[in-house]
C-alpha cells in the first residue's frame, strides 16, 4: 500500500551501508573460529582484531578496552550487572545504582532486576523539561550516599527526544567520589562527536545497527581498571568477561560502519541538522498545536560545542491525538515514523521519558518521533509534510471519539 | 473499501480478516488491548486478552500481509464493560458482558475510531449474517466477505438485516443485536455463511494461519479462571448475609447477595436439603436487604417479560407478524440467553421504561413487553439481554427489567 516510502525511523534501525554489507558478506563466506589455532582460525582472529583496533581508534579507546557483544542491550546489561557485581565484591556496601529517569529500558530494566534479585537500590535521577539531567540532583545524591554507590549510568543522548546529556559533568561529579560512570551512546555515535578517553567515562555502549552496521552486534568499551563481572560465562572470550564465539562477519561489518560513521560525522551532522530544522519548521506549519519535545534545535548545533540535541532527531506531541492513529495514517501515506516509546506486545505505553520530563500522560499519548540518518533526503521530509496536516486532523477526530475520557461523558 | 479487521488472536477473526483481504478490500488488522495490567487477565491462549493472543493476532496479520496495530481500549473497557458488570451484579441483576462489549467497545469505541480514521467498515469473526434487501424486499446475497458500507453510504432503499448464522451452535446474533441498524451498516461478518467451525479451521489451515488449531474461548475474558463469584468478591467486597426460603425461614448464608443469579441452582451452599426434598433455586436476589431467596423450580416460571432501552432493526409489525385485531401485540420469538432456545411470544413496544405488571415509566426511553404464547419461560433475570427474532432475522433487543407470572 506504500509507493515511494519515506523512512524516518533511523533511531530504530538504519539501512546497512554498502561498505558494511560488503565486509559482512566477505567474512561470512569464510570458515573460521577466532579461537581456533589453525590457519582458518587465525584468519578469523585477524579480522576480529583488526576490527577491534579500527573500532577503538574511531571511538578514542584502546583495543583492549573493546568487548564485543550481541548488541546494545547486552552491552548495557553487562555494564549495569557486571559493574554492580564487580564493585560489590570488593565493597559490599556499594548497592546503589544511580541512573537517569530517561534511560533506555536496556539500562533501566537490568537495574531494577538487580533491585529485585540482588539487593540493589535504584535512584532515578530527575531531568528537566527538555529531558536534560538535573546535575544538582546528582550532586546531592552523591554527597549523601557516595559510599554506597556502585555506579552511575547516564546515556549520551536520549533515543526518544534526542537530548544530549552532560556526560562530562556527570563524570566529573562521580569521579570526585571515585564512582565509575557508564554511558549508553547507542544513539550518539555517528550523530555527535563521541570520544571514549576524552569523555572520561568508564564504560560506553555502542551498537552496529543504529549507524549503518548489522543487527545483532555491539560493544561495551570498558576501562581495564573497571571492576566488571561476567554476565555470559563459557569459553572465556573477551577477557573472560563475555564468553561466546566471536561473530567475525558481524564484528568486521560493525567496525567498518563505525569507522565510516565517525569519519563522516562532522559533515553528516550539519546536513542532518539542516534537514531536521526544515522538518521541525514544516511540522509546526502543518500543525500549529504540535509541541516539540526535547531541546529547541539551535542554529549552531553541530558546529563548535556539543549540540543540545541530536541533529537527526525531531520529536513532537500532537494534542488530542493518539500515537497509534498517527502511525497508522502516516504508514498509509508511505511515511514510516515511530511513537518513540517501548511497547509491550505492541500495546502503546505512555513514554517514561516524556513523563519524566513532566509531560502530562494525555499529551504523551500523542507522540511521534522522526529520526534522520545517512540515507535521509529532503524528499523524505517533504513526503511527511505533505501528509501530516490531514493525518493530524484525522487522528484528532479519532481521538475525540475513542479517547478515554469523553468530553462530559466520563464516569 | 478500507476495512479494519478486529483480530483477537483467535482463529475466527483471523479467517474473517483473510476473507476480507481476499474480497479485495484494503485491510488493516487491529488487536484491542482491553487490560493495562495484563497479569489480571487470564493467561494462556483461550481468550482474547493475553499477550500470547496479541502475538497470535500479529502473526496472523503478518501471514496475511496486512498492517497490524494494537489499540489500547483498556480504559473504555474498564469504564463500560467491567463497570457495568460490577454495578449490574451489585444491583442484583445478571449482566452479559459480551453484549456490553459489542455495544460499547467493538461497535462503538473501535468502530467510531475506525470511521474517524477513514475506514469504511469493521470486520469481525462473529457468526452472524448480514442480509441486504432492496426496497421491494428481495433478499440480496449475504456475501461471504460481506458488503458493509454499500448500504450505509449509498443511500437508496437498500436495507440491511441481521440474521442468525446457519451454524446454530456458533450463532452469535444474540450478542450482536445490541448494535442496532446504524452500526450494522458499518459492520462486516465474513464468517456469516459458514456452517461449521471445522470449516473455519480448515480455511485457516489452508492459508497457513497457525491459529487454525487454537482452542475456542468460552469464559468471560476479564474474569481469571472463570471464577465470577471470586472476581465479584474481590471487586465489590465481601458482604455476608442470609439465604431464606419463600416463607422467610433462614436456610443458609452467603458472602454477598450480588453474586447470585435468579435461576441459579448450583453453589448455593445450603447445608440441609429442603423439607420436601426438592431442588431449590434462587428465585429472587434482594440487594437492599442483602438477601437471597430460594424456592422450587415452578416459582421461576414466567409468562411476561419487560425490557428497557429497546433497539430495533425493524419494528415488530412492520411487514410481518399478525396483530390481534385492534391490538398492539405482534407475533415474534424471544431469546434470553446466548445459547438459549427461542420461544414464540407476542411483543409490543412501550413508550417508556417498563417495569413489572404493565407499569411503564414516564421517562421517554422506549422499551418492550413480551408475553409468552405457549409454555412459560424459566429463569429470566433482570439485566439479561432479550432479543426479538422473526425466524432467522433479529428484529430488536432490550435489557430485561422484570419478569412475572400474569
What does the pLDDT look like over B79-88, one tens digit per residue?
999 999 999 9
> Which class for A198: exposed (0-12), middle (13-18), buried (19 or more C-beta within 10 A)?
exposed
Rounded Cα–Cα distance for residues A239 and A248 (Å): 17
Q: Give the pLDDT confidence score for residue B37 in this predicted structure.
A: 56
Q: Tell me the C-alpha to C-alpha distance, in Å, between residue A395 and each of A184, A365, A403, B33.
A: 34, 12, 11, 19
CB contact under 8 A, B54 and A327: no
- pLDDT tens, residue by residue, A69-104: 999 999 999 999 999 999 999 999 999 999 999 999
Q: Confirm or reject contact between B54 and chain A (CB < 8 A).
A: yes
* Alpha carbon of B243: minimum distance to chain A alpha carbons (Å): 33
CB contact under 8 A, B117 and A394: yes
Rounded Cα–Cα distance for residues A37 and A378 (Å): 51
- pLDDT tens, residue by residue, A360-372: 999 999 999 999 9
B13 alpha-carbon distance from chain centroid: 17
Strand order in the sheet with A181-184: A66-69, A218-222, A203-207, A181-184, A149-153, A96-100, A121-125
Q: Give the pLDDT confidence score for residue B146 in this predicted structure.
A: 46
- Cα dihedral B122, B123, B124, B128 sign: positive
Q: Give the pLDDT confidence score for residue B210 in this predicted structure.
A: 86
DSSP code string of A299-364: TTTTSSSPPSB-TTEEEEE-TT--HHHHHHHHHHTTEE-B--S-EETTEE---HHHHHTT--HHHH
Comparing alpha-carbon positions, the chain B residue that sits nearest to A328 is: B69
Rounded Cα–Cα distance for residues A331 and A280 (Å): 19
Rounded Cα–Cα distance for residues A129 and A93 (Å): 34
Rounded Cα–Cα distance for residues B50 and B137 (Å): 44
Q: Tell me the C-alpha to C-alpha distance, in Å, between residue A162 and each of A195, A354, B310.
A: 18, 12, 54
Q: Confirm or reject contact between B71 and chain A (CB < 8 A).
A: yes
The C-alpha cell that represents B42 in the structure block: 487470564
Rounded Cα–Cα distance for residues A35 and A42 (Å): 8
Please tell me if the domain spanning B2-224 has the same topology as the one spanning B238-299: no
- pLDDT tens, residue by residue, B336-348: 998 889 999 999 9
Choose among B55, B69, B110: nearest Cβ to A324: B69
Return mean pLDDT, chain B.
Answer: 87
Rounded Cα–Cα distance for residues B393 and B139 (Å): 12
Q: Give the pLDDT confidence score for residue A411 in this predicted structure.
A: 34
Q: Confirm or reject contact between B215 and chain A (CB < 8 A).
A: no
- Mark the binding-site residues of B, compressed into ranges: 6-13, 32, 125
Residues of chain B in contact with residue A346, where contact means CB-CB under 8 angstroms, are: 31, 33, 54, 58, 68-70
Return mean pLDDT, chain A.
Answer: 93
Q: Taking 80 as the threshold, does the pLDDT of residue B398 lie above it? A: yes
Query: Do B384 and B397 touch, CB atoms closer than 8 A?
Result: no
CB contact under 8 A, B79 and A410: yes
DSSP code string of B10-29: SHHHHHHHHHHHHTT-EEEE
Any idea which fold B238-299 has?
A: SH3 type barrels. (2.30.30)
CB contact under 8 A, B72 and A348: yes
How confident is residue A17, by pLDDT bands cut at 50, 70 and 90? Answer: very high
Per DSSP, A189 falls in state B
B279 alpha-carbon distance from chain centroid: 29
Q: Taking 80 as the threshold, does the pLDDT of residue B151 lie above it? A: no
Q: Taking 50 as the threshold, does the pLDDT of residue B150 lie above it? A: no
How confident is residue A343, by pLDDT bands cut at 50, 70 and 90? Answer: low
Rounded Cα–Cα distance for residues A37 and A203 (Å): 31
> Which class for A329: exposed (0-12), middle (13-18), buried (19 or more C-beta within 10 A)?
buried
Rounded Cα–Cα distance for residues A32 and A156 (Å): 36
Rounded Cα–Cα distance for residues B32 and B48 (Å): 9
Q: Tell me the C-alpha to C-alpha distance, in Å, between residue B58 and each of A343, B111, B213.
A: 13, 20, 16
Residue with cell 408475553: B371
The C-alpha cell that represents B181 in the structure block: 441498524
Bridge partner residues of B386 (DSSP): B398
Bridge partner residues of B307 (DSSP): B368, B400
The closest of A281, A303, A278 to A292, measured between CA atoms, is A281
Rounded Cα–Cα distance for residues B97 and B85 (Å): 6
Alpha helices in A118-247 (DSSP H): 135-145, 167-176, 196-199
Q: What angle do CA B251, B254, B260 make, to 5 degrees?
A: 100
Residue with cell 539487593: A119
Choose among B28, B70, B75: nearest Cβ to A347: B70
CATH 3.40.190.10 at B2-224, yes or no: no
**Domain regions of chain B by residue span:** 2-224, 238-299, 303-404
Q: Give the pLDDT confidence score for residue A4 in this predicted structure.
A: 65
The closest of B170, B336, B333 to B263, measured between CA atoms, is B336
Choose among A329, A346, A405: nearest Cβ to B54: A346
Q: Taking 90 as the threshold, does the pLDDT of residue B140 lie above it? A: no
How far is the first Cα of chain A from the last one, in angstroms, to the nearest whole number? 40
In the three-class reduction of DSSP (H, G, I as helix; E, B as strand; rest coil), residue A153 is classed as strand
The closest of A132, A160, A105 to A364, measured between CA atoms, is A160
Q: Taking 70 as the threshold, does the pLDDT of residue B155 lie above it? A: no
* Alpha carbon of A325: minimum distance to chain B alpha carbons (Å): 7
HSE-up of B66 (CA within 13 Å, CB side)? 29
How confident is residue B54, by pLDDT bands cut at 50, 70 and 90? Answer: confident
Residue B131 has phi, psi (to 5 degrees) of -110, 125
Rounded Cα–Cα distance for residues B72 and A339 (Å): 14
Per DSSP, B338 falls in state T
* Alpha carbon of B249: minimum distance to chain A alpha carbons (Å): 40
The C-alpha cell that represents B51 in the structure block: 499477550
Q: Confirm or reject contact between B113 and chain A (CB < 8 A).
A: yes
Rounded Cα–Cα distance for residues B184 and B148 (Å): 8
Q: Tell me the C-alpha to C-alpha distance, in Å, between residue B321 and each of B159, B184, B318, B333.
A: 19, 23, 8, 10
- pLDDT tens, residue by residue, A248-289: 999 999 999 999 999 999 999 999 999 999 999 999 999 999
Rounded Cα–Cα distance for residues B117 and A397 (Å): 8
- Mark the binding-site residues of B for ATP, compressed into ranges: 6-13, 32, 125
Q: Give the pLDDT confidence score for residue B144 in this predicted structure.
A: 43
Query: Do B395 and B173 touch, CB atoms closer than 8 A?
Result: no
Residues of chain B in contact with residue A391, where contact means CB-CB under 8 angstroms, are: none
Choose among A329, A346, A348: nearest Cβ to B117: A329
Q: Taking 80 as the threshold, does the pLDDT of residue A2 lie above it? A: no
* Dihedral in degrees, nearest 10, Cα atoms B284, B289, B290, B292: -30
Q: Which domains does chain A have, with CATH numbers?
A: 6-14+265-400 (3.90.1150.10), 18-259 (3.40.640.10)
Which residue of B113, B118, B183 is the best one to mutate when testing the A interface, meaning the one whose CB has the most A CBs within 10 A? B113
CB contact under 8 A, B113 and A331: no
Which residue of A322, A345, A349 is the best one to mutate when testing the B interface, meaning the one whose CB has the most B CBs within 10 A? A345
Per DSSP, A148 falls in state G
For residues A156-174, give the mean pLDDT. 98
Query: Do B356 and B364 touch, CB atoms closer than 8 A?
Result: no
CATH class of the domain comprising B303-404: mainly beta
- pLDDT tens, residue by residue, A121-154: 999 999 999 999 999 999 999 999 999 999 999 9
Q: How much is the ipTM here? A: 0.85
Look at the pTM and tell me if it is higher than 0.80: yes
Q: Give the pLDDT confidence score for residue A344 in this predicted structure.
A: 57
Which residue of B108, B116, B183 is the best one to mutate when testing the A interface, meaning the one whose CB has the most A CBs within 10 A? B116
Rounded Cα–Cα distance for residues A292 and A286 (Å): 13
CB contact under 8 A, A1 and B26: yes
Q: Confirm or reject contact between A130 and chain B (CB < 8 A).
A: no
Alpha helices in A133-247 (DSSP H): 135-145, 167-176, 196-199
Rounded Cα–Cα distance for residues B76 and B178 (Å): 18
Amino acid at each position: 500500500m506504500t509507493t515511494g516510502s519515506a523512512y524516518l525511523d533511523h533511531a530504530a534501525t538504519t539501512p546497512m551501508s554498502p561498505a558494511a554489507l560488503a565486509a559482512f558478506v566477505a567474512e561470512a563466506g569464510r570458515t573460521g573460529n577466532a579461537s581456533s589455532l589453525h590457519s582458518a582460525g587465525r584468519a578469523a582472529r585477524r579480522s576480529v582484531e583488526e576490527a577491534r583496533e579500527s573500532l577503538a581508534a574511531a571511538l578514542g579507546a584502546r583495543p583492549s578496552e573493546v568487548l564485543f557483544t550481541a548488541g546494545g542491550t547486552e552491552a548495557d546489561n553487562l555494564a549495569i550487572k557486571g559493574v554492580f557485581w564487580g564493585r560489590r565484591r570488593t565493597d559490599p556496601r556499594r548497592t546503589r545504582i544511580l541512573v537517569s529517569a530517561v534511560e533506555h529500558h536496556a539500562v533501566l530494566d537490568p537495574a531494577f532486576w538487580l533491585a529485585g534479585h540482588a539487593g540493589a537500590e535504584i535512584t532515578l535521577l530527575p531531568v528537566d523539561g527538555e529531558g536534560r539531567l538535573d546535575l544538582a540532583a546528582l550532586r546531592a545524591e552523591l554527597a549523601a550516599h557516595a559510599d554506597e554507590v556502585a555506579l552511575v549510568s547516564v546515556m549520551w543522548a536520549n533515543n526518544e527526544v534526542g537530548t544530549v546529556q552532560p556526560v562530562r559533568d556527570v563524570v566529573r561529579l562521580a569521579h570526585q567520589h571515585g564512582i565509575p560512570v557508564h554511558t549508553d551512546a547507542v544513539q550518539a555515535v555517528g550523530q555527535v562527536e563521541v570520544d571514549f578517553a576524552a569523555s572520561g567515562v568508564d564504560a560506553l555502549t555502542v551498537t552496529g545497527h543504529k549507524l549503518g552496521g548489522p543487527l545483532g552486534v555491539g560493544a561495551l568499551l570498558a576501562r581495564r581498571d573497571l571492576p566488571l563481572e561476567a554476565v555470559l560465562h563459557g569459553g572465556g572470550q573477551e577477557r573472560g568477561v563475555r564468553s561466546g564465539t566471536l561473530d567475525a562477519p558481524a564484528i568486521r561489518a560493525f567496525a567498518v560502519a563505525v569507522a565510516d560513521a565517525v569519519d563522516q560525522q562532522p559533515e553528516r551532522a550539519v546536513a542532518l541538522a539542516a534537514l531536521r530544522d526544515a522538518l521541525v519548521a514544516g511540522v509546526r506549519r502543518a500543525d500549529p498545536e504540535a509541541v516539540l519535545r526535547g531541546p529547541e534545535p539551535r542554529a549552531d548545533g553541530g558546529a563548535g560545542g556539543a549540540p543540545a540535541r541530536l541533529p537527526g532527531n525531531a520529536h513532537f506531541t500532537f494534542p488530542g491525538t493518539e500515537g497509534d492513529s498517527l502511525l497508522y495514517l502516516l504508514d498509509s501515506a508511505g511515511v514510516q515514523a515511530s511513537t518513540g516509546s517501548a511497547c509491550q506486545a505492541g500495546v502503546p505505553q505512555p513514554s517514561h521519558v516524556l513523563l519524566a520530563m513532566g509531560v502530562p500522560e494525555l499529551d504523551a499519548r500523542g507522540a511521534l518521533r522522526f529520526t534522520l540518518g545517512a540515507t535521509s533526503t529532503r524528499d523524505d521530509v517533504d513526503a511527511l509534510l505533505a501528509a501530516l496536516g490531514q493525518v493530524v486532523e484525522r487522528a484528532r477526530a479519532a481521538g475525540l471519539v475513542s479517547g478515554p475520557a469523553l468530553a462530559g461523558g466520563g464516569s | 473499501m478500507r476495512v479494519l479487521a478486529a483480530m483477537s488472536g483467535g482463529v475466527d477473526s483471523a479467517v474473517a480478516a483473510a476473507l476480507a483481504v481476499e474480497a479485495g478490500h484494503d485491510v488493516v488488522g487491529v488487536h484491542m488491548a482491553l487490560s493495562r495490567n495484563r497479569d489480571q487477565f487470564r493467561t494462556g491462549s483461550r481468550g482474547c486478552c493475553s499477550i500470547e493472543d496479541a502475538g497470535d493476532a500479529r502473526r496472523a496479520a503478518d501471514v496475511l500481509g496486512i498492517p497490524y496495530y494494537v489499540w489500547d481500549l483498556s480504559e473504555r473497557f474498564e469504564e463500560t464493560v467491567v463497570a457495568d458488570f460490577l454495578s449490574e451484579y451489585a444491583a442484583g441483576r445478571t449482566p452479559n458482558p459480551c453484549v456490553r462489549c459489542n455495544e460499547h467497545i467493538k461497535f462503538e469505541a473501535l468502530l467510531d475510531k475506525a470511521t474517524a480514521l477513514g475506514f469504511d467498515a469493521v470486520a469481525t469473526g462473529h457468526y452472524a449474517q448480514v442480509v441486504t434487501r432492496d426496497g421491494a424486499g428481495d433478499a440480496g446475497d449475504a456475501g461471504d466477505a460481506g458488503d458493509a458500507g454499500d448500504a450505509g453510504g449509498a443511500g437508496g432503499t437498500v436495507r440491511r438485516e441481521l440474521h442468525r448464522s446457519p451454524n446454530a451452535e456458533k450463532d452469535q446474533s444474540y450478542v450482536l443485536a445490541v448494535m442496532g441498524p446504524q452500526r450494522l451498516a458499518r459492520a462486516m461478518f465474513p464468517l456469516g455463511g459458514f456452517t461449521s467451525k471445522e470449516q473455519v479451521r480448515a480455511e485457516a489451515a489452508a492459508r497457513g494461519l497457525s491459529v487454525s488449531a487454537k482452542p475456542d474461548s468460552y469464559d468471560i475474558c476479564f474474569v481469571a479462571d472463570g471464577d465470577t463469584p471470586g472476581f465479584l468478591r474481590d471487586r465489590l467486597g465481601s458482604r455476608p448475609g442470609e439465604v431464606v426460603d419463600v416463607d422467610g425461614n433462614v436456610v443458609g448464608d452467603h458472602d454477598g447477595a450480588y453474586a447470585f443469579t435468579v435461576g441459579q441452582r448450583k453453589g448455593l451452599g445450603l447445608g440441609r436439603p429442603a423439607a420436601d426434598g426438592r431442588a431449590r433455586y434462587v428465585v429472587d436476589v434482594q440487594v437492599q436487604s442483602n438477601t437471597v431467596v430460594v424456592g422450587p423450580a415452578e416459582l421461576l416460571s414466567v409468562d411476561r417479560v419487560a425490557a428497557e432501552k429497546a433497539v430495533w432493526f425493524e419494528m415488530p409489525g412492520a411487514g410481518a407478524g399478525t396483530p390481534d385485531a385492534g391490538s398492539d401485540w405482534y407475533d415474534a420469538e424471544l431469546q434470553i440467553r446466548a445459547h438459549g432456545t427461542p420461544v414464540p411470544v407476542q411483543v409490543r413496544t412501550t413508550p417508556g421504561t417498563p417495569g413489572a405488571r404493565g407499569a411503564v415509566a414516564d421517562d421517554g426511553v422506549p422499551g418492550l413487553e413480551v408475553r409468552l404464547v405457549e409454555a412459560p419461560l424459566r429463569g429470566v433475570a433482570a439485566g439479561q439481554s432479550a432479543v426479538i427474532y422473526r425466524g432467522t432475522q433479529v428484529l430488536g433487543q432490550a435489557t430485561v427489567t422484570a419478569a412475572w407470572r400474569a
